[in-house]
Amino acid sequence: MRNVTLQSCISWAYSVQDFQIVGGLGADRFDIVAKAGAPANVETLRVMLGTLLAERFKLKVHRDTKELSSLVLVVAKGGPKLRSSQEDAPGVLRPDKSAMVAQHATMAEFIGALAGPLRTPVIDKTGLTGRYDFTVDLTSYLADAKPGQQTDMTSIMMSALREQLGLNLESRKEPVEILVVDHAEKNPTGN
């Protein structure tokens, strides 16, 4: 990892978004070079990074819950317009120009992809448990934006999800898991 903040490392290691991390971490940047002893899957790499942060940065954290303004994803009145995936493969979400293409994606994976750009907690209350293939295309919504005017991505995403996927994003106060940083050294220990 090159030129990364401690917050971005914690976010990845603990599978949380930046807005879920509470604690003054500063803006210092670090290069972290580590090698696993054997091939490892993503979940194992996350645990390994968490261990490295605890050893080198003396990182101590705990999980808590806090009520926050959130967006809740629910099924719209007419029902979902999602195509069930024919493969039971790991989910892939990738940008494609002004669209997001999902293959074999669960709602949890989709929520993770939505929360970052919308910069707010997104909570799944759809009840959808399968894997799905779909595309959310924002091209026509972005074309309506006036030049020089800031784009309201939340409103655009709300419209696109309702019309294209049969899902609604609703604003609510919801309990959200947060990660509280109890302690972190500013200068990590070396090898």
Domain ranges of the chain: 4-65+177-183, 67-175
pLDDT tens track for 134-162: 999 998 888 776 777 777 888 889 999 99
Instruction: For residue range 70-129, list pLDDT tens digits in order.
Output: 999 999 999 999 999 988 788 898 888 888 999 999 998 898 888 878 888 899 999 999
Give the list of residues 6+ apart from residue 161 with CB closer than 8 angstroms, or none.
73, 136, 167, 168, 169
Bridge partners (DSSP) of residue 134 are 102
What's the pTM value of the predicted model, to 2 decimals? 0.72
Cα dihedral: 1, 21, 92, 141 (round 10): -120
Q: How far apart are CA 147 and CA 57, in angstroms?
A: 45
| CA–CA distance, 155 with 13 (Å, rounded to integer) | 31
Tell me what pLDDT residue 81 has: 94
pLDDT at 191: 66
